[in-house]
Structure formats: structure tokens, C-alpha cells
Structure 1
């Protein structure tokens, strides 16, 4: 469990494995019992896992159930043509993607991080809607945007783009799940190098 990073020619120990997650979402209008509501579903998953000298990556387009079933498909919302209808139809089922993530996530040994709490909240809502068990422990979750602001003593919320600019980390293919997950991992590593610490929970 955990890994080392180099800091000024010294090894610094991080007491947990890290799993950086980014989801891209799509919003679908759903009509049930004549009531309209808007549901957000995961349409793309990107993950970067770090343990010792091992780095694993996972990415997939996800087949959003409510979107597929809906007659009101907002084509403009599919990320400016990044995803075709065919690619969405052929996407991986969310449960299958979760099973892939569970292969690299070890409860109480892996901290899973996202930028902002949207990933946590929407995943929890979707799992309930899809009747899928939530795959991660709440105590293993870390909102990196909140930790970033506290560590660098910033009083306002910080966007991922602003954080990358502050740390002079190049940002390529923003708003794509895997590149954003890679950016999260780079920010986390920089924070550790500069003295950030995770309190051991277990």
C-alpha cells in the first residue's frame, strides 16, 4: 500500500495508493408520470491509478441508459461531436466499467480523487438509478479541489484549469476523461512534493 515520490533527492512516502477519476456527463430530459426532470449520466470514464512504480490507466465511453431510451436526445450536448450516436450506442455499460475500476481499487488502501464533488454525487445518484452498488468507500474519497484550496491557502473555489496554470502543468485535451484524470494525478503529485500530506485513516 502506498508509494514513494522523489523530493529534493529524498524519497517521500505517500501512505495510500491513488486513483484519479474523471467522468464526463450528459443531461437527458426524462418524463415520468407527466413530470419532467433532468438526469445527468456518465458518458465517459477516465482513471489513473498509481501504486509504487506501477501506473495503470482506464478509459471508456459509457452507454447512458436514460439517454438511449429518451426521445429527446440533445445532440448539441454530446461534446461538440466527440461522440457519435453509434459510439454511444456501442459504449460500455456503467456496471462493466465499475467492475474494471474495482479491479484496481483496494478499499482502505486506495484514495480515490476527483476535482470537485460532482463525480461523487452523480456516481452515487446514477448507481441508485441503475440499481448498482456504489463501488467505493466514502472514507476513501478526496475532493482534490478542496484540498488544493486549503493547501495553497486560496479562499475561493479553484477550477481545474486555474490549478493547472498555477502549477505550470500543461493541460491537453481538457474535458476529456482520461486527460483530465492524468491532470488530477499530476496536481496531486505536485502537492505531495510541495509538502501536502494525507492523514492516515486506518
Structure 2
């Protein structure tokens, strides 16, 4: 069998995480131009559990569906204008985030085992740092916001405590899933 082809199991996991990403955006706390959702947690889990390749496919399917008008973005929004709107940088950053998380988890694992702190580190680097480095400049540029401490604290730092909590919870969930479903363990 060709290693580049996806199995039915792979496609099922990809579809599951696409659906989880859609559902996790339906519950939001609107606090300015970017709402608080559980989507960063799902992105972190996609990177940890699916790895880079399957994770990217899952996120790409989500973005394609959202751009086509499916009401799967935060609060039930959809359409190309929403995908490339103020929060578009965050949405597109998820593609790189799952790659970084998947790569780091695989590199830091040893015989399918990885410590909790290493998963947390992968989530912080890929799921927070990468996302913020792409999403925040996009938001500031799109909305023509001044780059001052008020903007940084109100549009970036306000999300940090929740995102760190999501990184920790995601790592705990990932380790539990590795124990329950050994096929999802990271292998070098």
C-alpha cells in the first residue's frame, strides 16, 4: 500500500477533528474583535493526536468548509469574508500550528512515550506562540489598531491565561488518548 495515501481510519480521524473544530467554535465569549472559543484546544489536540499531515488536512478541510459558507466559525459564522476577516490570521495560523505541534510531539517522543511537560511545551510553542505571531499582526493590520500596550493587553494578553490552561488540559487529554488508543501515539 502506498504510504502517501490516507486510510479510511485516517480519513475518519481527520473528519472527527474537523467536526470537533466546528463544534468548539459554536460556544464563544465575545470580548472584542476575537472571541474566546475552545478552538485553540482542538487545534492543539489535532497536532498532538493526528500529527502534522493529518492535522493540516483536518484544518484545511475546516477552512475550506468555512470559506464555502458553512456556519462553522465562532458563533455560527461562515463565508470567505469571515475567513479572511479580522480573525483570519488566527484561523490560517492553525495550519502551521498543527504542523509545529505534530513535529515537536513526534521529535520529543521516545518509543511512543512522551512526558506531560513536553506535550505542554509543544502546545505552548505551536498552539500559542505560532498562533499569536500570525494572528495578532493580522488582527492589528486588518483593524488598523495602534500598536500600543492597550491593544496588546486587550487583543492579545487577555487570551494568554486561557490558552495556557488549554495547553495544559490538551496535554492531559492527549496522554489519556495515547493510553486508550495506542495507534495515536507519536512515533519517530
Query: Normalized against structure 2, the TM-score is what?
Result: 0.30
Q: Which has the higher helix share?
A: 2
> With structure 1 as the length reference, what TM-score do the two structures score?
0.29
Which has the greater radius of gyration?
1
The answer to which structure has the higher strand fraction is 1
